[in-house]
Amino acid sequence: MIKRMFKNLILFVLVLVLLPTVFALDIGYVVSNPGVLSGNDVSLRNILVGDGHMVSFLDDVSFNAGNYDLIIVSGGVSNIEGVFDNTKYRTLFLGNSAAKKAGLSSGSTTSSRRRSEIRDITHYVTEEYSLGDLDLYTSTGSMSYLNGCKASGSYSLVSHDSDNSKIVVFGVDHNSMLIDSGCTDRDKRVYESNVFFGLNEVSKWNSEAENLFKRSIVWLVTSGLVDEDGDGYDSLESGGDDCDDNDADVNPGSSDINKNCVNDAPEIISVNPANNFNILENVGRVFLVSVRDEESDLDYIWKVNNRIVGSESSYEFNRNMGVYNVEVIVSDGSLSDSNSWTVNVRDSSYFSCSDLGGIVCSVNQVCDSELYEVSDTNSCCSSSCSVKPPEFSDASNICESKNSKIEIDLDNFDENLDYEVGQEIDFDIKIGNEFDDKMEVEVEGYFYDVTDEKVIESFEDKFDINKDGSELSSFDFKIPYDLEDDHDYRIFVYVENDNNLCNQKDVAVDVIRGDLDVFIDKLRIDQDSFVCGDSVDVRVDVKNYGDDDEDVYVSVVNSDLSINERSESFEIEKYGDDDDERENFLIWIPEDAENGRYNLKVEVHTDGDNFVVEREIVLESCSSQGVEGSEVGGGVRLGGSELGLGGSGDEGVELGGDGLIGGVIGEVGVVEGVDKVEVFVGFVLLFIAIGSLGAVWWFFG
């Protein structure tokens, strides 16, 4: 007994020292949906992987728990019944519902806390701590608890900070008795240790919570196992599966059927074909099975429609039309395993393409092997489809017979890069002459949409090339914003010499949308030149070329002219939906601006990168003193203390021949280059002045 305890102690110390740095555990992590992980499951996975462990997410339907050193059950899994047996495998529960149903306690509850109470410091998991309250979360979060009666041989290690009947960290040692149907029914033995760890908001763990979790794993892996005979298998009494731990030759891994503790049946672990299938008449198909059995030689029996047809490890099936049942039986002489398939043999017209396991080639693909005549398509390929070579049917010329003495290379173009819509592409087409004489060539370059068979950009060039020489021709273009990023694009170059010999080359261009999705599609300003006091009509057309709806606003800014206009925020839908919007601005030029050229900065603001366009406007006939009666374009400017019609401010007021009202109103309609509002306001002020003079004359006269 003392020898066993000492041996266990040595093993325990070695594992504690070496496990974090040397040994990596193969951990099975049971979740509700491996394809959609919760944030807590991802955070815990990162902690485990960071410690060197291998983590496999498992569906909570079925799996082989024996493939893993430790099973962790996510808090999102409410029940493991029928999935795996926690009594036979080291298991850590993160959720109280699954732990309760597995027999660890009779009740469960939850609360929102930050602090817990250390209740037991005699156990390995908590022996580093002191009794009493301890913060385990960085902020208040959800904690799960077990309460009620609990499994015998268990340890209530950490509890609710004000109710010690609610246990948040709970250990169940091997050989304990779990709760079965009720608190008085504890007849379900656990052969491997279990832990309930109710701190299920991993993202809020502090260093103390993480340390408790890691110590719980160490305890699970090292607790109580005994291998007395050193054969690598632990005794049944300590929770292992070695039926005689005093004889190293007797263990479950023994190849001797009489010494492996039990006669294990052969297990078919994989089959090919994997499922029932349909096959063409008089087409052969080989059946294979992979079997796990370490105890003896195996016998194979193959049957078709219950008649024995073979006794090898494989069988080739080839039959006329009909429905057949193919069965294999694998036996070790005592126990056996089997598998069967249903096979439909028909002519091809009976099946759809998927029935025959074929692949439907798209319009842009060709079949690499035989085409099946099936019921649902004319392009059912028996094996695989490959990309159809581009036809370049929209290009002016294609080369039917390529001549390699006309060499074509693209300098400064990297086909391994991604090119964004709106990006400028500039490269050289290098043409080499390997003929014995000088030649004249005509070069055609295209940026080509292979999916739609359409030319997007093109250019032509013509020049001479000396013998054994080469010449460069530059091709530059801007990738349009409205390209479909799921299309295939290529640079296509066609070259023909003066002897009507030709060559061509094409390379792929990967087009992406990039981070900037919302652009100014059009910017219109009603004119280019203005005078002080003018209004400027600015129309901004915004378009979304991205894959998501965006909230944006538009601004028009020039600090020198004190212009700072901003639209209301608005939503613009993703490309292909309601993806464009127009914003109009009416901007006033200050009266005291100076002559010169000014840039209006028009910007679309998004949550990410902004798109900016600058447009120059020109101010003419402005004065640094303001608009003191300046003449503009033969018309009138109002300012200072004078009103001028048709000339400078010093010339006073000139009335028309039809009287004051008729003359003034007549002039308003015909003055060129003058803001009519200013003229009208001037006339009103003039009438008020004349009226005031009349009133004074009447009063004193």
User: Has residue 75 been placed in a domain?
Assistant: yes
Task: Give the three-class secondary structure for 679.
Answer: helix
For residue 468, the domain's CATH number is 2.60.40.10
Q: Which of 478, 512, 546 is the last residue of a domain?
A: 512
DSSP 8-state secondary structure symbol assigned to residue 692: H
Q: Nearest CA to 300 among 277, 327, 325, 319?
A: 327
Q: Which of 203, 222, 241 is the last residue of a domain?
A: 222
What distance in Å separates the CA atoms of residue 327 and residue 155, rounded to the nearest whole number? 52
Strand ordering across the sheet containing 418-420: 418-420, 502-512, 489-497, 439-449, 454-465
Kindly state whether residues 333 and 427 are assigned to the same domain.
Answer: no
pLDDT of residue 697: 56
| Token representation of residue 612 | 């900016």
Kindly state whether residues 526 and 610 are assigned to the same domain.
Answer: yes
What distance in Å separates the CA atoms of residue 604 and residue 473, rounded to the nearest whole number? 37
Tally of domains within the chain: 7
Q: Write out the DSSP string of 498-546.
A: TTS-EEEEEEEEEEE--S--EEEEEEEES-SEE-TT-EEEEEEEEEE-S
Kindly state whether residues 202 and 97 are assigned to the same domain.
Answer: yes
Kindly state whether residues 193 and 213 are assigned to the same domain.
Answer: yes
Kindly state whether residues 167 and 25 are assigned to the same domain.
Answer: yes
CA distances from 609 to 330, 469, 515, 550 (A): 65, 46, 7, 12
Kindly state whether residues 233 and 285 are assigned to the same domain.
Answer: no
pLDDT of residue 294: 59
User: Has residue 325 been placed in a domain?
Assistant: yes
Kindly state whether residues 479 and 537 are assigned to the same domain.
Answer: no
Kindly state whether residues 93 and 134 are assigned to the same domain.
Answer: yes
Kindly state whether residues 181 and 146 are assigned to the same domain.
Answer: yes
Q: How many helices (H) and strands (E) does the chain have?
A: 6, 43
List, in sequence order, every beta strand (DSSP E) within 321-370: 322-331, 336-346, 359-360, 365-367
User: Has residue 42 been placed in a domain?
Assistant: yes
- Whether the model clears a pTM of 0.85, i.e. scores above it, the answer is no
CA distances from 232 to 221, 228, 242, 245 (A): 15, 9, 9, 10
User: Has residue 281 been placed in a domain?
Assistant: yes
User: Has residue 628 been placed in a domain?
Assistant: no
| Token representation of residue 522 | 């059009």
pLDDT of residue 574: 86
What distance in Å separates the CA atoms of residue 52 and residue 71, rounded to the nearest whole number? 16
Q: Which of 602, 619, 636 is the last residue of a domain?
A: 619
For residue 143, the domain's CATH number is 3.40.50.880
User: Has residue 496 been placed in a domain?
Assistant: yes
User: Has residue 399 been placed in a domain?
Assistant: no
Kindly state whether residues 80 and 134 are assigned to the same domain.
Answer: yes
pLDDT of residue 667: 35
Kindly state whether residues 156 and 47 are assigned to the same domain.
Answer: yes
pLDDT of residue 197: 96
User: Has residue 627 been placed in a domain?
Assistant: no
pLDDT by 10-residue block (mean), the chain, 701 residues: 44 47 79 92 94 93 92 94 91 94 92 94 90 94 93 90 93 85 78 92 94 92 71 66 82 77 81 88 89 78 94 92 93 87 88 86 86 89 86 91 93 89 90 94 94 92 94 92 86 94 93 79 88 91 86 93 92 88 92 91 88 90 49 31 34 35 34 47 66 60 55
Kindly state whether residues 451 and 596 are assigned to the same domain.
Answer: no
CB of 308 within 8 A of CB of 301? yes
Antiparallel, parallel or unpaired: β 285-292 and 489-497: unpaired
Domain span at residue 187? 2-222
